[in-house]
Amino acid sequence: MPNNNKKAVGIFVLTAGLIILLGQWGVFAFLGRVFWPLLILIPGVALHLAFAVRTLPAWALVPGGTLTVYGIVLSLCNTWGFGLIEVLWPAFLLGPGVGLYEYALLDAQRPKGVYYASLGLIGLSIILFVFSLLGPFFLYAFSIILILAGSWLLFWPESKSGKRSGWRKM
């Protein structure tokens, strides 16, 4: 066997032995448990990069934004525990909202319907984030908001014309 082939076979055998040994030690299982959200995050970032270098059209930002947000959420949950999903679940609406927003913002035709749909999804997810962060205290916060709104309506000073000051005629 020529010397070059002997070295190539030696490198192959050495690499195979190292891979088997690392697998027996649990290195690959550990890496799989820790870094699996990257299987979702990396394609999302790759779609953004493909759009940036003009390889893909703007519609690729919709799955790109969705996968990126989902990858970030799953990475957070993988790091700090999946009990965090009780608070982060509205991000599953935020993902498509971000993707649609990027598409509406960066597409040459600037579709208005997609823009408003994205703002609706983003707004809904923000409202749901607030509700999920408040948790059981939501009803207390909601009742306080109602009390403040009722007090404002009752006690806002009226001007001499009988109209509440600060209100404009429409």
> Residue 166 has what pLDDT?
56
Locate 85 and state its tokens: 């999903």
Domain that holds residue 70: 36-153
- Is residue 169 in a domain? no
Residue with tokens 């959200």: 37
Query: Does a structural domain hold residue 158?
Result: no
Q: How does pLDDT run across 50-76, given as a tens digit for each residue?
A: 999 989 999 999 999 999 999 999 999
Q: What is the pLDDT of residue 25?
A: 86
Judge if 72 and 143 occupy the same domain: yes
* 167 lies in some domain: no
Q: Are residues 16 and 46 in the same domain?
A: no
pTM greater than 0.85: no
Residue with tokens 């679940």: 89
3-class secondary-structure state, position 168: coil
Under-50 pLDDT residues of the chain? 170
29 shares its domain with 41: no
Q: Is residue 163 included in any domain, yes or no? A: no
The reply to whether 159 falls in a domain is no
Exposure class string for 66-80: b at 16+ Cβ within 10 A, else e: bbbbbbbbbbbbbee
Nearest CA among 20, 19, 15 for reference residue 7? 15
pLDDT of res. 90: 94
> Number of folded domains in the chain?
2
Residues 12 and 42 in one domain: no
Return the pLDDT at 139. Answer: 75
Asked if 40 contacts 67 with a C-beta cutoff of 8 angstroms, the reply is yes
- Say if 57 falls within a structural domain: yes
